């Protein structure tokens, strides 16, 4: 990583030999790319759809691709002005990620102090900040995320127009919260998002809790990118070749809520952990979600709730060779007489580090689904970024390479 030192604005304007503050800008990034094999992916067919093998290249699976700029300026007295601009991209096509946002991963400015940090802009919610590092997706990547990242522990969705506070760490304890202003005249709460979380580390033990609630989530949370729609379902197609059958038909919720907790134990070369989340899509059939014919084609009312349980382990055979595994069980979505769906996800990976910055990896993933999914059809296996299966089963294999700079 390289640091670029820029003189302060005062020094530039006054051509002074003595700068009143010290500024630093760090340029950093991650490039992740690989080849996938999917044994059964939905394809359109006369009278409906079928399933076929699929070979495809894809980005951002072990970690999201990014190019970032992180800056600090020392203001004295323990205070610093800070900023982060972080772009996401697809290396295969060169296109912008996060729905076409130039700095779609993060974009904020703020003030760090002896008491904590306050930032404003497009940011991560508290579930991402506190629980995200203690999940099976660390080491197993995107395909280990619970039910198409239904709880956002994998940071699929960001929060716009947010004010965030993050405390300093006190004897291993840290806490914080975020609030996003909806910006609707005459209604303070419309399109608002808020979250809070805390973490604690003591020796080999780490634990975290978090809460997230989004009002009008189809617009404020799932639909806050340039390519999003103010009226359509921003969770994707729920008929034909599907995009997100796990919870895509619940886009008409008046609110989306996540409560989660995680626990991790690390000893020598072994890491084991567990996380749990309860997810609610509340007050379905909300007119504020958009065109109800598109956001709620099945006319659901009431609440659809899910519970997710995840166990994971990581083991270092050598400092350069890691084995990773996780198991996730997701159940829920029963509503208006529709039964629940159940999803069992098994994930394993081997990760070999060629250097401190570059590694190659192999992933093997298997999923079994049962019951009835959000679209009212027999549940099919579905991974984030992968075309859902046409059956209750799906295998995804990947060989990839990651480089950090």
pLDDT at 189: 86
Q: Report the distance separating Cα 89 and Cα 217, nearest Å.
A: 24
CB neighbour list of residue 99: distance below 8 Å, 6 or more residues apart: 225, 226, 227, 228
Where residue 200 sits, what CATH number does that domain have? 2.40.160.10
Phi/psi at 98 (nearest 5 deg)? 50, 45
- Which residues share a beta bridge with 359? 353, 402
Query: Alpha helices, DSSP H only, in 213-306?
Result: 217-220, 292-295
Distances (CA, A) of 390 to 33, 50, 166, 272, 382: 26, 6, 44, 33, 9
CB 193 within 8 A of CB 180: yes
- Classify residue 391: in a domain, yes or no: yes
- Classify residue 51: in a domain, yes or no: yes
Q: Report the distance separating Cα 232 and Cα 321, nearest Å.
A: 45
- Classify residue 2: in a domain, yes or no: no
- Classify residue 74: in a domain, yes or no: no
Phi/psi at 177 (nearest 5 deg)? -160, 165
CB 349 within 8 A of CB 342: no
3-state secondary structure of 276: strand
Residue 321's domain comprises 31-66+99-404
- Classify residue 247: in a domain, yes or no: yes
3-state secondary structure of 139: helix
pTM of the model: 0.92
Length of the chain: 405
**Exposed/middle/buried for 157, CB within 10 Å: 0-12, 13-18, 19+?**
buried
pLDDT at 21: 60
The region, left, alpha or beta by phi > 0 then psi within -120 to 50, assigned to residue 288 is alpha
Q: Which of 95, 34, 51 is nearest to 387 (CA)?
A: 51
Number of compact structural domains in the chain: 1
pLDDT at 14: 33
- Classify residue 19: in a domain, yes or no: no
9, two tokens? 């604005």
Distances (CA, A) of 332 to 46, 310, 341: 32, 15, 6
DSSP 8-class letter at 78: T
Q: Give the start-end residues of each E strand in 268-354.
A: 270-284, 302-318, 321-332, 341-353
| Cα four-point dihedral sign 88, 94, 98, 100 | positive
Q: Give the start-end residues of each E strand in 168-267.
A: 173-180, 193-202, 205-215, 255-267
- Classify residue 78: in a domain, yes or no: no
Distances (CA, A) of 351 to 224, 247, 317: 34, 31, 10
Q: Report the distance separating Cα 241 and Cα 389, nearest Å.
A: 10
Residue carrying the six token digits 């084991």: 272
What does pLDDT average to in each consecutive run of 10 residues of the chain (405 residues)? 38 37 92 98 93 97 98 97 98 95 97 97 98 96 95 97 98 98 86 98 98 98 96 93 96 98 97 98 97 96 98 97 98 97 98 98 98 97 97 98 97
- Classify residue 22: in a domain, yes or no: no
């Amino acid at each position: 990583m390289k640091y670029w030192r820029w003189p302060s604005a005062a020094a530039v304007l006054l051509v002074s030999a003595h700068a009143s503050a010290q500024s630093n800008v760090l340029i950093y990034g991650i490039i992740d790319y690989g080849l996938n094999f999917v044994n059964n992916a939905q394809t359109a067919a006369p009278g409906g759809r079928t399933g076929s093998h699929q070979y495809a290249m894809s980005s951002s699976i072990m970690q999201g691709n990014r190019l970032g700029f992180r800056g600090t300026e020392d203001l004295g007295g323990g205070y610093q002005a800070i900023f982060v601009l972080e772009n996401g991209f697809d290396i295969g096509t060169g296109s912008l990620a996060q729905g076409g946002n130039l700095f779609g991963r993060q974009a904020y400015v703020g003030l760090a102090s002896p008491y904590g940090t306050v930032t404003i802009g497009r940011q991560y919610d508290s579930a991402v900040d506190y629980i995200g590092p203690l999940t099976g997706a660390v080491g197993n990547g995107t395909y280990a995320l619970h039910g198409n990242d239904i709880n956002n522990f994998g940071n699929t969705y960001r929060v716009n127009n947010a004010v965030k506070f993050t405390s300093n760490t006190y004897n291993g304890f840290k806490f914080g919260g975020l609030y996003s202003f909806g910006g609707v005249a005459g209604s303070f709460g419309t399109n608002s998002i808020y979250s809070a979380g805390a973490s604690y580390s003591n020796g080999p033990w780490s634990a975290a809790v978090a809460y997230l609630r989004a009002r009008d989530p189809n617009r404020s949370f799932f639909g806050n990118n340039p390519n999003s729609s103010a009226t359509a379902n921003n969770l994707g197609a729920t008929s034909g070749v599907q995009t997100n059958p796990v919870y895509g038909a619940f886009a008409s919720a008046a609110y989306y809520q996540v409560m989660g907790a995680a626990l991790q134990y690390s000893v020598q070369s072994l890491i084991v952990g567990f996380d749990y989340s309860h997810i609610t899509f509340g007050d379905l059939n909300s007119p504020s979600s958009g065109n109800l014919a598109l956001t709620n084609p099945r006319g659901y009312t009431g609440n659809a709730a899910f519970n997710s349980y995840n166990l994971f382990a990581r083991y270092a055979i050598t400092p350069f060779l890691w084995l990773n595994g996780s198991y996730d069980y997701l159940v829920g979505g029963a509503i208006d007489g529709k039964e629940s769906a159940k999803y069992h996800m098994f994930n394993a990976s081997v990760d070999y580090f060629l250097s401190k910055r570059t590694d190659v990896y192999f992933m093997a993933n298997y999923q079994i689904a049962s019951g009835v999914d959000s679209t009212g059809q027999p549940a099919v296996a579905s991974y984030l970024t992968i075309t859902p299966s046409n059956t209750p089963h799906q295998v995804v294999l990947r060989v990839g390479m990651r480089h950090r700079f």
